[in-house]
Structure 1
């Protein structure tokens, strides 16, 4: 049996991963601000990741429930936000702070707690950071999001050097039909000059579904050569 800890587990990719991994017979512990009654995993933890000082205690409570005989332990840092959308001078200080906290600081703290708590487990250990192409290419109107995801990529590279026994990957999952995409399409051309491209992606059926993306991620995790794959990668390179 394998154990998974997934942030942003109540919606989108996180929810699809929770369901598909549970269907495979694995332990799945979800972290999100709220959950529906039919969430499919082992146990949900309602928690706001903006409360970063409480993350280590939360991770401790999760690890108390994980079976000692699991064959692998995987943390999937999936929670994130596209807000604020707009040019830097117009972005509110609190929104910028929340963006960097959710997209970068929280995954860093969650990963640190995971590494410490997993040290006594003999299981294979993996940290999967859900990044974005926006961390590797600049977009007008997405300065906070781009900066957070770029930081997440570089943090992943640091972990790969610091912890040879833990496979760390930062994966861009492609363009997915989630609430984040809805928020992008609801923005203005003034705030996000590329908005028409993203409306076209939706209208022409170019978006992947959360289920399709979850399937691709799980296939990637199950690859025999997973341990030697590049730290910074794009899921579309393995389709």
Structure 2
């Protein structure tokens, strides 16, 4: 049986870290990308961490190229890209957002996954290996919310982007499977940031607080397990948007 390799963004915490740990425990190889450091490198010899700011979109192609050069592609049975990293802020009405905030949000949450996907497909097109891309989405991509215009827009973009790429790949000899996965409301730092805002600044902060207090947030580990299940099953190219069950 061949080896499985995964490139995952946002592995320093939350869903990304849990995903990496679960895959590493299955004896898979993981390359993690995040702005922050990671303690996974000390715990797992199959884990390699790359500190990288995804807002630096012009360097992403070189990053993907260099990562794939380290992978023994001829021995690989499955290679996956999980676009998990996202930025929640700015959480305020759009007329209070400045250009830099909007730009950084869209670069990290939408442009970076698009460029990662482009480079990943381009540099693995010569392979006969099974390839899959999972874009972590959100209900915010379908349901508008005040003070969340940038985040909702980037997640709506992720959903549309995923559908477009799936259509492009459907006619290829060895198509890349691509899905978007909505994890629901998860107990992560993004949720804590939303709860911590004042009601004046972020109208929905109280709602986020109530969901947390009521114990309705899913654990990152449960979400990671379900994401791995979706990743391992063969994707239907006509059905690429997935919401979490249960």
Q: Specify if TM > 0.5.
A: yes
Is the partner of 1:71 in helix, strand or coil? strand
Residue 177 of structure 2 corresponds to residue 171 of structure 1: no
Check 1:27–1:38 CA distance in 2 against 1; reply closer, same or farther (3 A cut): closer
TM-score, normalised by the number of residues in structure 2:
0.92
* Superposition RMSD in Å: 1.4
Residue 95 of structure 2 corresponds to residue 89 of structure 1: yes
Q: What does residue 121 of structure 1 align with?
A: 127
In the TM superposition, what is the alpha-carbon distance from 1:229 to its structure 2 partner? 6.9
What is the distance in 1 between the residues matched to 2:62 and 2:194? 34
TM-score, normalised by the number of residues in structure 1:
0.94
Residue 32 of structure 2 corresponds to residue 27 of structure 1: no
Is the partner of 2:6 in helix, strand or coil? strand
Gaps of 5+ in 2: none
1:105-151 Cα deviation digits (max 9, x unpaired): 01111110000111122111111100110011100110000011111
Q: 1:43 aligns with which of 48, 52, 55?
A: 48
1:154-185 Cα deviation digits (max 9, x unpaired): 11111001112011111111111111001000
Is the partner of 1:226 in helix, strand or coil? coil
Aligned length, in residue pairs: 236
Check 1:188–1:229 CA distance in 2 against 1; reply closer, same or farther (3 A cut): farther
What is the distance in 2 between the residues matched to 1:200 and 1:67? 48
Would the aligned equivalents of 2:92 and 2:147 in 1 still touch at CA under 8 Å? yes
Gaps of 5+ in 1: none
Q: 2:17 aligns with which of 3, 11, 15?
A: 15
Q: What does residue 5 of structure 2 align with?
A: 3
